Structure 1
Amino acid sequence: MNKKLRFKNKKIAVIGAGVEGLLSAKWLKEHGALITVLDQKDGKDYLKNLDKYDLIVRSPGVKLSTIREAFRQGSKVEITSQTKLFFDFCPCPIIGVTGTKGKGTTASLIYEMLKKEGYNAYLGGNIGQPPLEFLDKLSTQAIVVLELSSFQLQDLTKSPHIAVFLMTTSEHLDYHEDINEYVSAKRNLLRFQTASDFAILNKDYPASRESDTEIKGKVFWVSREGIAEGCFVRGKKIIVRGAEVAHKNFLVPHSQTARHANSENFVGSSRTKDIEIIGIKDILLPGAHNLENVRAAVMAAFLAGVSKQNIVSVLKTFKGLEHRLELVREVGGV
Structure 2
Amino acid sequence: MTNWTSSRILIIGAARQGVALARYLSARGAQVILNDARSAEALQAARASLADLPIEWALGGHPLSLLDGVDQVCPSGGVPLDLPLVAEARRRGIPLSNDSQIFLEASPCKTIGITGSAGKTTTTTLVGRMAQAVFPHCWVGGNIGNPLITDVERMSPPDVAVMELSSFQLEVMSRSPQVAAVLNVTPNHLDRHGTMEAYTLAKKRILDFQGPDDTAILGRDDPGAWALADSVQGALVSFGLRQPPRGQVGTFLHGDQIALWDGESARDLFPVCIIRLRGQHNLSNVLAACAIAHAAGISPDAMR
* Cα contact 1:38–1:46 (8 A) shared by 2: no
1:233 and 2:253 equivalent? yes
* Cα contact 1:111–1:122 (8 A) shared by 2: yes
Q: Structure 2 residue aligned with 1:70, among 67, 88, 95? A: 88
Structure 2 distance, partners of 1:285, 1:49, is 48
> Post-superposition shift, 1:7?
1.2
Report 1:4-43 matches (<5 A): 6-41=3-38, 42-43=59-60
> Post-superposition shift, 1:43?
4.2
Structure 1 distance, partners of 2:268, 2:118, is 26
Structure 1 distance, partners of 2:7, 2:86, is 20
What is the CA deviation profile of residues 250-276 of structure 1, one whole-angstrom value per residue up to 9, with x for unaligned ones? xxxxxxxxxxxxxxxxxxxxx412100
Structure 2 distance, partners of 1:45, 1:160, is 32
Residues 311 and 72 of structure 1: CA distance in aligned 2, closer, same or farther (over 3 Å) = closer
* Cα contact 1:48–1:70 (8 A) shared by 2: no
Report 1:1-334 matches (<5 A): 1=1, 3=2, 6-41=3-38, 42-66=59-83, 67-71=85-89, 73=91, 75-228=92-245, 229-242=249-262, 271-312=263-304
**Which ranges of structure 1 fall in alignment gaps of 5 or more residues?**
243-270, 313-334
- Aligned to 1:207, what secondary structure does the other structure show? helix
What is the CA deviation profile of residues 59-93 of structure 1, one whole-angstrom value per residue up to 9, with x for unaligned ones? 111123434422484x2322211111111111211
Moved more, 160-169 or 112-121: 112-121
- Aligned to 1:117, what secondary structure does the other structure show? coil
- Aligned to 2:303, what secondary structure does the other structure show? helix
Structure 2 distance, partners of 1:125, 1:238, is 28
Structure 1 distance, partners of 2:90, 2:276, is 55
TM-score where L is the length of structure 2: 0.87
Structure 1 distance, partners of 2:284, 2:103, is 28
- Aligned to 2:96, what secondary structure does the other structure show? strand
What is the CA deviation profile of residues 7-66 of structure 1, one whole-angstrom value per residue up to 9, with x for unaligned ones? 112222111111211111111111111111111234454343413212211111112343
Alignment-mate amino acid for residue 105 of structure 1:
T
- Aligned to 1:277, what secondary structure does the other structure show? strand
Alignment-mate amino acid for residue 118 of structure 2:
K
Number of equivalenced pairs? 280
Moved more, 302-311 or 106-115: 302-311
Alignment-mate amino acid for residue 254 of structure 2:
R
* Cα contact 2:108–2:155 (8 A) shared by 1: yes
Structure 1 distance, partners of 2:185, 2:69, is 39
Alignment-mate amino acid for residue 70 of structure 1:
E
Structure 2 distance, partners of 1:235, 1:192, is 37
* Cα contact 2:36–2:61 (8 A) shared by 1: no
Alignment-mate amino acid for residue 37 of structure 2:
Q
* Cα contact 1:198–1:220 (8 A) shared by 2: yes
What is the CA deviation profile of residues 190-248 of structure 1, one whole-angstrom value per residue up to 9, with x for unaligned ones? 11111111111111111101001111011111111111220011212111011xxxxxx
Alignment-mate amino acid for residue 100 of structure 1:
S
Structure 1 distance, partners of 2:62, 2:237, is 48
**Which ranges of structure 2 fall in alignment gaps of 5 or more residues?**
39-58
What is the CA deviation profile of residues 266-322 of structure 1, one whole-angstrom value per residue up to 9, with x for unaligned ones? xxxxx412100111112122222101110011111122222222211xxxxxxxxxx
- Aligned to 1:289, what secondary structure does the other structure show? helix
> What is the RMSD of the two structures over their aligned residues, measured on CA atoms?
1.6
The residue number in structure 1 matching 2:45 is none
TM-score where L is the length of structure 1: 0.80
> Post-superposition shift, 1:117?
2.2
- Aligned to 1:79, what secondary structure does the other structure show? coil
Alignment-mate amino acid for residue 172 of structure 1:
H
